[in-house]
Each structure stands twice: as structure tokens, then as C-alpha cells.
Chain A
Amino acid sequence: MLSFRLDNSQQRSWPDYLAERAAVAHDPRLQRFFSTGCPAPDTPIGEAPLLALDMETTGLDANRHAIVSIGLVPFTLQRITPGASRYWVLKPPRPLTESSIAYHHITHSEIDRAPDLSDIAEELLEAMAGRLIVAHYYRLERSFLDSAFEARLGEGLRFPMLDTMVLEAKRYRHSWRARLASWVGKPQASIRLQDSRDRYGLPAYTSHHALTDALATAELLQAQIAYHHSPQTPIGSLWV
């Protein structure tokens, strides 16, 4: 069973962590990324540049499985700009199994022509630099990016993230009301992406694709902030 509790040990000093990494980084691309840093923790969420990130992987274990696609959609609390989105299909070091192909709608020939993560690392890091990354279930994105970079460049990649699933879990799993409900035997609210979106009147998208899910995540964050927080909420109180 996965736990969605906050990892307090890391929350303490993301800017410090990024600064340390900038100081010791060997790879110039990573060095640039870390030294750009992230918005300060007291930045109101309403003023922070945000970037929704979703990836598809061949499985759930970052040590055994690989990333096959990454989608990025830049946004702010006021506007999402799908026209500026980015998307890459990646060639995993290990060949795809048939079952994961069916799930991802990505074909062998697409994968065969695709670049390795190291080929797009510069573009990817540039697109992410200076923005607060938003994902639904950050642990997957964080562990896969970290180990993929570690494997290729000998240096990992970690940064603060906003997790719409964590925000949803706080409200619907860990609040005293939710605990009470679960204690009297009510079924737990689902915090999967579309189930969460339903609670805010957001539409169901037909395709399951890193880009649609990134867009869906961006919309969900706007809704969560509108309902449970405010544009003044400092990002340091939300990130993980």
C-alpha cells in the first residue's frame, strides 16, 4: 500500500538543496537547471510559473522500468497554455513488452525512431527550469527522472513538486472528517486523476496520453486551489 504522507525531511529546504546541487553538479545542463533554482517558498501560488508534467513508463519500478513518453504543459493559476506544450516519445534501454504497448498507445516503430532521454535532456531541463513542476502522484515522476538521470549522467535529478494527488489525499484521506468517515466504515474517496476531477466538475478526456494527463493535472490544480486554498497560499506550504 502506498502512503501519501508528506516527506517532511525534504520539505525543510528545497532552495538549499537546489543550491547545493548547483555547486557540485558536473554536467553543465544539470548545473544550469539547479542554479536557476525554483520560485521562493513564500511565492504566492497565484504568481508562480507552473509546469504540469506527466510521463508514461513501462512499469512502476524506477529501477526495472523505463520512461516512454513525457508531456509538459506550462501554466499559471490563471491560464493554461496547451499551445506551448512539449511532448517526447523516448526509447527505453530495454525493449517494450507487448502489454505495455497496448496500454500506452505507442507503437514499436515510434519507439524505434525515438531518441534516448540523454538526447533531449537539455531541452527538457530548459523547459522545466525556474518553474514549479506539478504532477499527479509525484513519486512516480520523481523516482523515474532521478534514476534515469543518475544512470545516464551519474547525477540524479530532484526538485520540488506540487502533487495534485497529495492535495486531494490531504482533503479526502487525511482530514479529520475523512478519517472519521473511514472510521465509521465509509469507503474511501478515490484520488485517481479522473475521479478527483469529477469532484470539481471537470470533463473526462477520452485519451490517456502524457499530454492530456498533464493538461488534466493543470486543470485539477486550478480547481483545487479555487476550492481549498487561495492564490495567496505560499508554494512552500504545498510543495513536496
Chain B
Amino acid sequence: MSVELQEVREHMGRHAPFDTLSDELLDEVASNIEVAYFKAGTDIHHYGQTISELCYIRQGAVDVYRRNGELYSRRGEGEIFGQFSLLRDNLVRFPSQAIEDTLLYYIPAEVFRRLCEEDDNFADFVELERPRLEATVDKYRRNNDMMITRVRKLVTRRPVMIEASASVQQAAQRMREENVTSALIYEASTSVDESQARYTFTDSQGRAWTLIGILTDVDFRNRVLAAGLAGNLPVIDIVSRPPRTIQSDESIHEAMLCMLRNNIHHLPVLHRRYPVGVLHLSDIVRYETNSSLYLVNNIFSQPSAKGLAQLSTDVRAAFVRMVSDGADSRMIGSALSTIGRSFTRRLLELAEEELGPPPVPYCFMALGSMARNEQVIVSDQDNALVLDDRFDAERHDDYFAALAQRVSDGLAACGYAYCKGNIMATNPRWRQPLSVWKRYFSEWIARPDPQALLDSSIFFDLDAVHGEETFVEQLQDLVAEQASQSPRFLAAMARNALNRKPPLGFFRGFVMENTGEHKNSINLKRRGTAPMVDLIRVHALACRSRAQNSFARLDDIAQTQLLPEGSGERIRYALEFISMVRIRHQALDIEEERDPDNNVEPENVSSEERHNLKDAFLVLSNAQKFLGFRYPMPRSR
């Protein structure tokens, strides 16, 4: 290959999706490119023009527009455009313009097609929105299935190995030096004894050894001192054998069963037949302590609000653990919501113990993310009290005000910040009998005022946490019945759902806004998950869904004709992807001992994540456009 093409090849080989091409395919691309220069401000593609090449930006920057002139994307060095046309009918739908002096490489359509056919990664990369996102989310899920946590994850050090000929004292000294409570005993493998074959392994020098057994602290007590033996005894005489072992790719659950069954505390871990570590029962206990199940149990056994507050670090640990175990956003959201509900419930129990039984029945109601089972680690408390209609403010409100205060303060101590909009049961307006709540909802729905609804859209995610669950169920029924019948209400909710728009994507080290503006970071909740949840809620209300979780709502919406074919699936993948990026960044914040938040800086977003996020933002943006069109404001009477 000639020198100037090597320059071309070298540049392309550093940028996705060319960076993962085989050498042969990359050579083919470089040998077939053509070059053209565009002065800043010159058009590259016009709308409706026929093209037969993919464009690669060698230097400079290019803006890609929608037909209506809206900015669609800004591409920089090493990025491509034009693939959408090539994948369809070669007609340009997104015109483009050089915004800096730009040097382009053109890749002929035949070469582009060959790349799509022969390289799956390339094909995934250039496919539109859904397939790429889908592929990523599915890949993540497949990994998750395989990641039933394996024993090797708990092995933190190599085993201490002692030859069988050593004396008991030498063994004890070695274990003291290494600061371990167990050692593996081995000897040179001599005979080809079939029964020993499973304990035979070969070291790096090619010598064969046999694992004889394991020596633990307890053996020194029970088999040496208690038996009155001396330290010069060969270690082989006191070893427990044959050893019980476990393979490194077995599940932790299996290891635990093995220990319980055999009543042992130490379990040698083998990779095939090579010893790679020793698992101690305490390793498993420590690991299980971080599980959310254990945490929930622990919450209900806390005797005081103070004790609960101390569990908040455990919540973070459980969250990080779920993320590293590969749980998806729905699993994490539901686990964290369960934890949040458990805190709330336990705080209510404790408050009732102190204040006495409630004078009238009540239901403590969760709103927003907890009601949707979509809590993450950064969460405000949004709640309310629905009281029995026999409630008499004069006589009973002191009790419920105190109850609400205790719960709210307790939650704040556990890491759930007070709601800035004061949507909490401590606010008398949100501590009302069922009939008043019914009136609230009927008012919102019958006389929708977008401005007023802006503050109350959170009430349309509602669920019972504790007490008379039927109270909240009645409200859910009311919403499902009335909302779908009020086009004005749906239109107002839809309008509000369009307030927060996603950015376009990323450009160099910045977040690209639709206006062409650059920002240093992006709030993935405000600009991603929240607007997505908002628009799903509108469709869910329109189809009388009683589901609160966004994914469950999408299931209900899928039973109707509300959304165009395939659109619901796209939204599902996009929501999952944005949620997971947000969750992973929060887990990273915790691991690196920063306060987790919803902001993500472009430099912390991998190139693959960038492309997928951009696709997800596009899905959101298109779904928002459809929403505005689907629920127009009816003409006023």
C-alpha cells in the first residue's frame, strides 16, 4: 500500500467504527477513498440529492440538518455521515454543511456495503437508532445472564502452599508470616493413581504435584495441641484429607451449600485442577451482607430511626453491587424502591409505636420514582397521606402531622432529601381524606391548566406504601377512568412532557445542544430519563393503564394502537440505555468516593456510549414530536 494511503489508513484506524475492522477490510477502505476539500460555510449534501458514498471527516466539522433546517447532528474529525441515505435509497434526507474548513474522505457505496456485510460491529454501528441500541442493551442483558456471580469473584489472594514434608511448626510459621488462617498442603506427584488424578496439577515449571489437603488454624488446636503432639511432626500427619474443593466458575451459592453440607469454613478453589485460592465462610457472609435482600431484612429489624440512618451506606454498597453484577435498570429500580419503601414502612411502624395507633385508618402514599419502582441512589422523598373520610382535622391532624414529620425526618436521615417542591405528607395540603384527594384528581383532570399541572404531574405516579392500600387503589382507578376521557388533560400533560428536550449528542469534549450551543456536562435525569418517563405517562393515561412502572406502562401501551409500529420498542430500549448510563455513572461516583449525582461529563462517556446515547436522544426527540402531534390541545369552547 502506498505511503499516502497509509496515512489515510492510519487515521481511519483510530476512529470508530473503523478501529475494529480487520486489517484486510481497513486496507480495502483506505485504497478506495476519494478526497475533497470544503471551505467553511459550503454545503456538502443538498436535500434530495443522490449520493453514492459514505463521508468520513478527516479534518474539520460538519453540521447535519433536518429538512426543516433544524440541527440534527454536529460531526467532527473521525466521524461519518451519509450512512442513512446509503442504507435506504441513496437520497439525501439530512443536508449537510461544513462549519469549519473540512477535508472529507469519500468511501464508495460498494465498499460501505461490503463492510456492513462482513463486519457485524460496523453494521451495528451504522444502523439507525433502534438496531444499534437494541444490540447494545441485549448484549448487556446476555452478559447479565451469565453473571450469576461466580466463586472466583470472591478470591482475593493466591493460596499459601506448603509442601507435605514441612514440619507442623514450619507450617505454622509460614501461616503467621502470610497472615492466613489456612494453607494448602501438596507433594510431588509420583504414582499415576486414578483416585488422586483429580487433585493433580502442574506448576509453571512443568512439574506435577498432588493437592493432599488443607490445614487450618483449628487443626493446630484440635490435632496438635489437644492431642499432645510436638511441632516437629510432619505436616502431612495432621492434614484433613481428601480436600473438599470447588471450581472457580461455580456460583457463590454453590460454594455456600458445599460448606454447609460438609460443615467446613474453608474451601479450596480450583481452576480446572490448579489451586487459585481458598474461600472462607466469612467471605460469603460479607458478600451476602451487601445484597438488597439482606438489607431489607435488616431494615425491619432496626429498633430506631437512628439505626435506620446507619444503614444508608449499606444501601449504596448494595446499589454498587447490583450494578457490578450486571442487573438491568428495572431490577435496580425495583430493588432500590423496595428498600425505600421498607425504610418508610419501618419508620411508620416506629412512629406508631411511639404515638399510639392511628385515630382513623390511613394510607401512606408514594409518588414519583418510588411509586414507579424506578428509584436510583439519588432520590428525593415525594409522599402524601390519604386519610379515612372520618378524619376530623381538629381532633386527628396533630397525630398525622407528627407521624408525617417523623417519617419525613427519618427518610432525610437515611439519605432521601426533603422534596424541594414540598410534596410531602408534612404539607397539610397533601395530608387529606380520600374524598378530598378524589376532588384534587378530578379537578386536575377536568380543568387542566398546564402551569398548575406542571407541579402536580408527579401525583400521576402513585402507589400505596403502608396502611389502607384500597385508598390509593381507588385513586388509581379514578385516574385511569377519567384521564383517558379528557383530551384537554392529555394535551396539557403532553405539552408539559415536551418542556425538557434531550441534547443532540456529543461533539468533541462537549454536549451539543439543538441550538448549536456547547455545554460541559449533561443532567441525564432532566434531559433523558425524566422526559422519557413523562411521555410514557401520557400514553399510559390515554390508554387507561393502571401500571405505574414505565416499562409496565409500555407493555400496556403496546396492547393499543397509540404508538406507531416499533416505536414502543425503541422507547423501551432508549429508556433502558439512558437509565443504565445514569446508574453506572452514579455507581462510579460512589466507588470513587464522590457524591453521586445525575450529571455526566462527556470525558467520562466512552465512545460506544456516546453513539448509543445519541441514538437514544434521537428516539426521545422523535417520541416527543409524536406526542405533541398525537395529543393536540382541543379548541377552547
B2 / chain A contacts, CB cutoff of 8 Å: 82, 85, 87, 211
Residues of A189-240 contacting chain B, CB below 8 A: 200-203, 205-207, 209, 211-212, 214-215, 218-219, 222-223, 226-227
Is A178's beta carbon under 8 Å from chain B?
no
Contact of A212 among B4, B33, B39, B40 (CB under 8 A): B4
Contact A82 B35, beta carbon cutoff 8 Å: yes
Contact A227 B39, beta carbon cutoff 8 Å: yes
Q: Closest Cβ of chain B: how far from A140's Cβ, in Å?
A: 20
Contact B4 A215, beta carbon cutoff 8 Å: yes
A205 to B6, CA, bound (A): 11
Contact A212 B34, beta carbon cutoff 8 Å: no
A114 / chain B contacts, CB cutoff of 8 Å: none
Contact A201 B4, beta carbon cutoff 8 Å: no
B58 / chain A contacts, CB cutoff of 8 Å: 203
Contact pattern, B 29-55, Cβ under 8 Å of A = 1, otherwise 0: 001111111111010000000000000
Closest to A213 in B: B4
Provided the pairs A82-B8, A201-B101 are in contact, do residues A207 and B34 lie with their beta carbons within 8 angstroms?
no
Is B106's beta carbon under 8 Å from chain A?
yes
Contact B34 A201, beta carbon cutoff 8 Å: no
Contact A211 B36, beta carbon cutoff 8 Å: no
A219 to B101, CA, bound (A): 12
Q: Closest Cβ of chain A: how far from B579's Cβ, in Å?
A: 39
Contact A83 B101, beta carbon cutoff 8 Å: no
Provided the pairs A78-B36, A79-B34, A223-B37 are in contact, do residues A202 and B106 lie with their beta carbons within 8 angstroms?
no
Provided the pairs A82-B8, A206-B7, A207-B7 are in contact, do residues A201 and B59 lie with their beta carbons within 8 angstroms?
yes
Is B103's beta carbon under 8 Å from chain A?
yes
Is A73's beta carbon under 8 Å from chain B?
yes
Contact of A202 among B6, B37, B40 (CB under 8 A): B37
A-B contact count (CB 8 A): 79
Contact B34 A226, beta carbon cutoff 8 Å: no
Contact A200 B101, beta carbon cutoff 8 Å: yes
Q: Closest Cβ of chain B: how far from A154's Cβ, in Å?
A: 33
Contact of A83 among B32, B40, B60, B102 (CB under 8 A): B32
Closest to B6 in A: A207
Contact of A200 among B32, B33, B37, B42 (CB under 8 A): B37
Contact B4 A214, beta carbon cutoff 8 Å: yes
Contact pattern, B 99-123, Cβ under 8 Å of A = 1, otherwise 0: 0111100100000000000000000
Is A81's beta carbon under 8 Å from chain B?
yes
Residues of B5-44 contacting chain A, CB below 8 A: 5-8, 31-40, 42
Contact A211 B3, beta carbon cutoff 8 Å: yes
Contact B60 A82, beta carbon cutoff 8 Å: no
Closest to B10 in A: A206
| Of listed B33, B34, B38, B58, residue having the most chain A CB within 10 A | B34
A207 / chain B contacts, CB cutoff of 8 Å: 3, 6-7
A201 to B38, CA, bound (A): 10
Q: Closest Cβ of chain B: how far from A200's Cβ, in Å?
A: 6
Contact A212 B37, beta carbon cutoff 8 Å: no
Is A80's beta carbon under 8 Å from chain B?
yes
Q: How many residues of A contact B (CB 8 A)?
A: 29
B106 / chain A contacts, CB cutoff of 8 Å: 79
A83 / chain B contacts, CB cutoff of 8 Å: 5, 31-34
Provided the pairs A80-B35, A226-B38 are in contact, do residues A203 and B4 lie with their beta carbons within 8 angstroms?
no
> Which bracket fits the contact residues of B?
20 to 34
Contact of B7 among A212, A214, A218 (CB under 8 A): A212
B32 / chain A contacts, CB cutoff of 8 Å: 83
Contact A201 B42, beta carbon cutoff 8 Å: no
B40 / chain A contacts, CB cutoff of 8 Å: 201
A150 to B37, CA, bound (A): 37
A202 to B60, CA, bound (A): 8
Provided the pairs A83-B31, A85-B4 are in contact, do residues A201 and B100 lie with their beta carbons within 8 angstroms?
yes
B contact face: mostly helix, strand, loop, or mixed? mixed
| Of listed B4, B34, B38, B100, residue having the most chain A CB within 10 A | B4
Closest to A85 in B: B2
A226 / chain B contacts, CB cutoff of 8 Å: 37-39, 42
B102 / chain A contacts, CB cutoff of 8 Å: 201
Contact pattern, A 167-204, Cβ under 8 Å of B = 1, otherwise 0: 00000000000000000000000000000000011110
Contact A219 B4, beta carbon cutoff 8 Å: no
A154 to B169, CA, bound (A): 99
A79 / chain B contacts, CB cutoff of 8 Å: 34-36, 106
Residues of B58-94 contacting chain A, CB below 8 A: 58-60
Contact pattern, A 124-159, Cβ under 8 Å of B = 1, otherwise 0: 000000000000000000000000000000000000
Q: Closest Cβ of chain A: how far from B469's Cβ, in Å?
A: 66
Closest to B77 in A: A203
Provided the pairs A206-B7, A215-B4 are in contact, do residues A80 and B36 lie with their beta carbons within 8 angstroms?
yes
Contact B59 A203, beta carbon cutoff 8 Å: yes
A203 / chain B contacts, CB cutoff of 8 Å: 58-59, 103
B8 / chain A contacts, CB cutoff of 8 Å: 82
Contact pattern, A 38-78, Cβ under 8 Å of B = 1, otherwise 0: 00000000000000000000000000000000010101001
Contact A82 B33, beta carbon cutoff 8 Å: yes
Closest to B7 in A: A205
B101 / chain A contacts, CB cutoff of 8 Å: 200-202, 223
A85 / chain B contacts, CB cutoff of 8 Å: 2, 4-5
Closest to B36 in A: A79
Q: Closest Cβ of chain B: how far from A167's Cβ, in Å?
A: 14
A92 to B431, CA, bound (A): 97
A79 to B107, CA, bound (A): 12
Q: Closest Cβ of chain B: how far from A37's Cβ, in Å?
A: 27
A209 to B39, CA, bound (A): 26
B3 / chain A contacts, CB cutoff of 8 Å: 87, 207, 209, 211-212
Closest to A227 in B: B39
A32 to B29, CA, bound (A): 36
Q: Closest Cβ of chain A: how far from B492's Cβ, in Å?
A: 49
Residues of B588-604 contacting chain A, CB below 8 A: none
A190 to B98, CA, bound (A): 26
Closest to A219 in B: B37
A227 / chain B contacts, CB cutoff of 8 Å: 39
Closest to B58 in A: A203
A201 / chain B contacts, CB cutoff of 8 Å: 40, 59-60, 100-103
A163 to B508, CA, bound (A): 36
B59 / chain A contacts, CB cutoff of 8 Å: 201-203
| Of listed B7, B38, B59, B102, residue having the most chain A CB within 10 A | B7
Q: Closest Cβ of chain A: how far from B25's Cβ, in Å?
A: 15
Q: Closest Cβ of chain B: how far from A59's Cβ, in Å?
A: 22
A82 to B2, CA, bound (A): 9
Q: Closest Cβ of chain A: how far from B387's Cβ, in Å?
A: 69
Closest to B53 in A: A79
Contact B39 A223, beta carbon cutoff 8 Å: yes
| Of listed A71, A75, A78, A201, residue having the most chain B CB within 10 A | A201
Contact B34 A81, beta carbon cutoff 8 Å: yes
Q: Closest Cβ of chain B: how far from A149's Cβ, in Å?
A: 25
A221 to B3, CA, bound (A): 20
A203 to B37, CA, bound (A): 11
Contact A82 B5, beta carbon cutoff 8 Å: yes
A206 to B38, CA, bound (A): 22
Closest to A215 in B: B4
Given known contacts A200-B101, A205-B7, what 17 new A-B pairs fall within 8 Å (CB)? Answer: A81-B35, A82-B35, A83-B5, A83-B33, A83-B34, A85-B2, A201-B100, A201-B101, A203-B59, A205-B4, A207-B7, A211-B2, A212-B7, A215-B7, A215-B35, A223-B37, A227-B39
A-B contact pairs, 20 of them (CB 8 A): A78-B36, A79-B35, A80-B34, A82-B4, A82-B5, A82-B34, A83-B33, A85-B4, A201-B103, A202-B37, A207-B3, A209-B4, A211-B2, A211-B3, A211-B4, A212-B4, A219-B37, A222-B36, A223-B39, A223-B101
Query: Which 9 A-B pairs have CB atoms at the shortest separation, nearest pair first?
Result: A201-B101, A222-B37, A80-B35, A226-B39, A215-B4, A211-B4, A209-B3, A203-B59, A79-B34
